[in-house]
Amino acid sequence: GSYGGMLASWFRLKYPHVAMGALASSAPILQFDDITPWSSFYDAVSQDFKSESLNCFSVIKAVWDVLDYRGSNDSGLLELSKTFRACKTVRFPSSLSNWLWTAFTYTAMVDYPTPANFMMNLPAYPVKEMCKIIDSFPVGADVVEKAFTAASLYYNYTGDQKCFEMEGGDDPHGLSGWGWQACTEMVMPMTVSNESMFPPSGFSYEEKSEGCFASYEVRPRMNWITTEYGGHVSFLSDFLMFTSEPS
């Protein structure tokens, strides 16, 4: 799955004389150049929540502006830090937004029908369980409290976390290494549409290049994946040819 699934797919495409087949689940091999709409990923994540509960979707969609507003001054950040049970008072409202964003996005990515601990310890159908939490609040309850409690399912399903590291925490899954890959060969344009439950955002190849240079002093090879493995017609025709070969 994910990056490993992409590698498996590409290996099959590149070396059909070696690999009889490849099983790839949740492997976004078309999320490059303009093959797939750039908003596809976050639209899919949002639809996961929306399909469970329109109220759940609406609460998450509303929380981002509220966080920015309340976190615009020191007293607001202090109160938000208490609400989020932060181990230390947060310095930036974006830290809280990122904490929520990660929880909702990764939960959708691992929305398995059975209990699992691939990313975190989670129950079966965790998106459904998150939305149950949000929908259980009485009418008029604070939107931030709803979002925080739902996100806590991702970070603290086992109930053993007394506080949460919002800034400067560790990287238990080694995901920071993805930044380097995304700045070299894995340039996957992603945007957030107005229909998403996340704040709308765009994508610029120029801004991506400058950000990568600032972080790693490298410039991305924007079209390396489709140059190496194909895209559009060439990719699909090769895939169909390889998969239709007689056994």
Please report the sign of the dihedral spanned by the C-alpha atoms of residue 127, residue 137, residue 141, residue 51.
Answer: positive
Domain count, the chain: 2
For 21, the token pair is 């087949």
Q: If you search the block for the tokens 């600032």, which residue do you land on?
A: 214
Q: Are residues 14 and 74 in the same domain?
A: no
Structural domain ending residue among the three candidates 123, 156, 189: 156
Q: Are residues 59 and 104 in the same domain?
A: yes
Same domain for 149 and 43: yes
- Based on the domain organization, do 12 and 54 belong to the same domain? no
Give percent above pLDDT 90 in the chain: 77
Q: Indicate whether 184 belongs to any domain.
A: no
Q: In terms of residue numbers, what domain contains 79?
A: 39-156
> Can you point out the beta strands (E) in 92-148?
none
Chosen domain end from 122, 156, 190: 156
Question: Cα separation of 157 and 123, whole Å?
Answer: 8
Mind listing the pLDDT tens digit for each residue in 174-224? Answer: 677 888 999 998 999 999 999 999 999 999 999 999 999 999 999 999 999
Q: How confident is the model at residue 231 (pLDDT cuts 50, 70, 90)?
A: confident
Strand partners, 134: none
Cβ–Cβ under 8 Å, residues 92 and 76: no
Quote the strand ranges of 52-161, DSSP E. none
Is position 188 within any domain?
Answer: no
Q: Which residues partner with 201 through β-bridges?
A: 192
Q: How far apart are CA 206 and CA 225, in angstroms?
A: 18
Return the structure tokens found at 151.
């996100």
Assess if residue 73 is contained within a domain. Answer: yes
pLDDT of residue 171: 67
The CATH number assigned to the domain holding 86 equals: 1.20.120.980
Determine the Cα–Cα distance for residues 90 and 167; give it in Å rounded to an integer: 7
Q: Pick the residue with more confidence: 3 or 51?
A: 51
Q: Are residues 145 and 103 both part of a single domain?
A: yes
pLDDT at 97 over 50: yes
pLDDT digits (tens, 9 = 90+) for 157-170: 999 999 999 887 66
30-78 per-position pLDDT tens digit: 999 999 999 999 999 999 999 999 999 999 999 999 999 999 999 999 9
